[in-house]
Amino acid sequence: MSDVEIGRGKTGRRAYSLNEIGIVPARRTRDPEEVSIAWQIDAYRFELPLMACPMDSVVSPGTAIQIGRLGGLAVLDLEGLWTRYEDPEPLLAEVTELDEQQATRRLQAMYAEPISEELIGRRIEEIARAGVTTAASLSPQRTARYAKAVVDAGVDIFVIRGTTVSAEHVSGRAEPLNLKQFIYELDVPVVVGGCATYSAALHLMRTGAAGVLVGFGGGSGHTTVKVLGVAVPMATAIADVAAARRDYLDESGGRYVHVIADGSMTSSGDIAKALAIGADAVMVGSPLARATEAPGRGYHWGSEANHTELPRGARVRVGTIGTLEQILHGPSTVPDGSMNLMGALRRTMATAGYSDLKEFQRVEVVVADSGLPAGRR
Question: What is the block-wise mean pLDDT of the chain (377 residues), using blocks of 10 residues?
Answer: 82 90 88 94 98 96 98 97 97 90 86 96 98 96 93 96 61 63 92 92 94 74 58 90 98 98 92 98 96 96 63 79 97 94 96 94 87 43
Q: How far out from the chain centre does Cα 242 lie?
A: 16
Q: Look at residue 371 in the predicted model and tell me its pLDDT.
A: 46
Q: Look at residue 230 in the predicted model and tell me its pLDDT.
A: 63
Task: Tell whether the torsion through CA atoms of 94, 95, 98 and 101 is positive or negative.
Answer: positive
Closest by CA to 58, choosing from 362, 236, 318, 271, is 318
Question: Across the chain, which distance is largest between two alpha carbons, in Å?
Answer: 61
Contacts by 150-154, CB closer than 8 A, 24 or more apart? 150/78, 150/120, 150/124, 151/186, 151/187, 151/188, 152/121, 153/120, 153/121, 153/122, 153/124, 153/125, 153/128, 154/124, 154/125, 154/128
One DSSP character per residue, 164-192 reads: S--SS---SSSPPP-HHHHHHH-SS-EEE
One DSSP character per residue, 61-128 reads: HHHHHHHHHTT-EEEEETTSGGGT-S--HHHHHHHTT--HHHHHHHHHHHTTSPP-HHHHHHHHHHHH
Q: Which residues pair with 317 in a beta bridge?
A: 299
Q: Which residues pair with 10 in a beta bridge?
A: 7
Q: Whole-model pTM?
A: 0.91
